[in-house]
Amino acid sequence: MTEYEERRPRQPIEHKTVVTRAAVVVPVLRQTQATEEGETVPRADESRLEEAVGLAAAIDLEIVSAVIVPVSKPRPATLIGAGKVEELKGVVAAEEIGLVIVDHPLTPVQQRNLEKELGAKVLDRTGLILEIFGRRARTKEGRLQVELAHLNYQKGRLVRSWTHLERQRGGAGFLGGPGETQIESDRRQLQEKIGRLERELEAVRRTRTLHRSKRKKAPHPVVALVGYTNAGKSTLFNAITGAEVLAKDLLFATLDPTLRRITLPHGTEVILSDTVGFISDLPTHLVAAFRATLEEVIEAELVLHVRDMANHDASAQAGDVNKILADLEIDTADAEHVVEVWNKVDLLDEAARAALVTASESGAKGLDVHLVSAVTGEGIDALLANIETRVAGRISDIALDIPADSLPILPWIYENASVQERTDREDGGVSLTAGMTAQARAELRRMTARYPDVRVASPAG
Ligand SMILES: Nc1nc2c(ncn2[C@@H]2O[C@H](COP(=O)(O)OP(=O)(O)OP(=O)(O)O)[C@@H](O)[C@H]2O)c(=O)[nH]1
């Protein structure tokens, strides 16, 4: 027990709140939009903007301007057209904007040119995600992973403009993510640092693997929550465990996995793991960097894919999550291994809810689907019963007749079954009926060898 508690992240590191005035720009490249394979529905521009603003807000920026910029032809020099750059420059000056977030990957050249043109620091989507990860990482491993991803990101960029950028920042420590001190160093130093971090991370991982193999010996299967950022994983985790995991309307509130041992209604114990929120366009090297964190998911007996069904982009988000899971070699169509949790149903009107019920009954690729609200608690009991059945087998009622001298078996019964009826007989014995999983029933058969006078009337199977 303590092992899991120890692994709960400590309080998040306090960051000095430096409120920077920022603009969010979402370039929409018309001709490349609908090229995704069949399943992924292209995102609505408005939701992309909303998500980008949400991401930016995750690092305490004051967003004073947010615009969608259609890009008919990407410019190698600035991505967006000259007219738009000019327009933005005006906004930056008028609104005293210090940072422009471009919600699209930028080449180093584009980033540099835009910074020069606009007179503000420019961060692309990867850079922003790294900033957020840097601020949210709470465990040592999480921090090392972010730092390494940051250094690798830097290595591929900007060697000539480190100094330029540093001067522009005016040394205010603004956006001082991990690796910032490396800005003036040369590639060799950067490489040395990367090597050092990799070794350190390796050491932390070895310890982790050790912990994990220890845990494997304990017969507790791991159930992992995954989902798009803000889908409600932490809220569901809290609803199930009563834990106080940080649940905020903050993207990526959870970066390091949080583990908690829980006892399901019929006594089965599992470890519930709350992991990092996924997001679209998560750069591959970032997924790789978080592979260790995601190992809980890879090794989980059961994966709960939590989805925000009140979001317009629910389906595109599911596509993104499935893509990342596929990268981790998790078969998302495997109904034995994956359950879909359709969350936030409390936010839906009757018609939308009815449509979901129909969709869930027709089965998303044959997966089990649960409609729940992590906030109101609706649907959670059924979800837990499903988890328990999957982990410990079918639940059936059994009748037990326990004579007085076999009463020491009672505490075991209460721990491993849900007692529904109990009669304390005059002869000192106890009769009861209880719901038990197949696993518990098998265990009970072994127990009754020690208590031969206990009579069990169990249903077939
Ligand atoms: N109305 C409603 N809101 C919910 C529900 N579940 C979660 N939320 C809200 O959605 C927001 C995000 O919830 P979190 O639990 O932090 O989401 P998460 O998936 O852990 O987010 P990341 O850490 O970014 O991955 C919070 O404001 C929650 O209160 C739900 O069932 N109904």
Q: pLDDT tens digits, residue range 69-124? A: 989 889 999 999 999 999 999 999 999 999 999 998 888 889 989 999 999 999 98
Q: What pLDDT score does 3 carry?
A: 40
Q: What pLDDT score does 448 carry?
A: 85
Q: Which of 159, 158, 149, 153 is nearest to 188 (CA)?
A: 159
Q: What letters, b where the CB count within 10 A reaches 16 and e where it falls short, cover 202-239?
A: eebbeebeeeeeebeeeebbbbbbbbbbbbbbbbbbbb
Distances (CA, A) of 267 to 71, 227, 434: 57, 27, 11
* Residues 345-393 pLDDT 10s: 999 998 988 888 888 777 556 788 999 999 999 999 999 999 999 988 8
CATH 3.30.70.240 fits 396-457, yes or no: yes
DSSP state of 12: P
CA of 248 to the centre of ligand 1 (A): 7
Q: Is the CB of 257 under 6 A from ligand 1?
A: no
Q: What letters, b where the CB count within 10 A reaches 16 and e where it falls short, cover 83-109?
A: ebbeebbebbeeeebbbbbbbbebeee
- Quote the CA–CA distance of 406 and 430 in Å, as a whole number: 9
Handedness of CA 222, 228, 231, 234 (dihedral sign): positive
Alpha helices in 218-232 (DSSP H): none
Q: Is the CB of 249 under 6 A from ligand 1?
A: yes
Contact yes or no for 100/92 (Cβ under 8 A): yes
Residue 313: band (very low, low, confident or very high) from pLDDT cuts 50, 70, 90: confident
Identical fold between 20-131 and 219-392: yes
Mean pLDDT of the chain: 78
CATH class of 219-392: alpha beta
Contact yes or no for 330/311 (Cβ under 8 A): no
Percentage, residues of the chain above pLDDT 70: 74
What tokens appear for 348 in the block? 């839906």
- Quote the CA–CA distance of 401 and 423 in Å, as a whole number: 10
- Quote the CA–CA distance of 224 and 380 in Å, as a whole number: 15
The residue extents of the domains of the chain are 20-131, 219-392, 396-457
The lowest-confidence range among 24-33, 144-153, 248-257 is 248-257
Q: ∠ at Cα 331 (221, 294), nearest 5°? A: 55
Residue 289 CA neighbour count, 13 Å, CB half:
29
Topology, domain 20-131: Rossmann fold (3.40.50)
Give the mean model confidence (pLDDT) for residues 258-264.
79
Q: CB within 8 A of 313, min separation 6: which ones?
A: 41, 43, 44, 47, 51
* Best residue for ligand 1 mutational test, from 51, 138, 233, 235 (most atoms within 8 Å of Cβ): 235
Instruction: Indicate whether 249 pLDDT > 80.
Output: no
DSSP letters for 58-76:
TTTEEEEEEEEEEESS-BT
CA of 227 to the centre of ligand 1 (A): 11
CA of 39 to the centre of ligand 1 (A): 25
Q: Which residue's alpha carbon is nearest to atom 9 within ligand 1?
A: 232
Q: What pLDDT score does 324 carry?
A: 81
Beta-ladder partners of 461: none
* Structure ipTM over 0.85, yes or no: yes
Q: Is 453 annotated as a binding residue?
A: no
- Quote the CA–CA distance of 11 and 320 in Å, as a whole number: 30
Residue 215: band (very low, low, confident or very high) from pLDDT cuts 50, 70, 90: low
Closest atom of ligand 1 to CA, residue 247? 16
Closest atom of ligand 1 to CA, residue 238? 15
Instruction: Indicate whether 243 pLDDT > 80.
Output: no
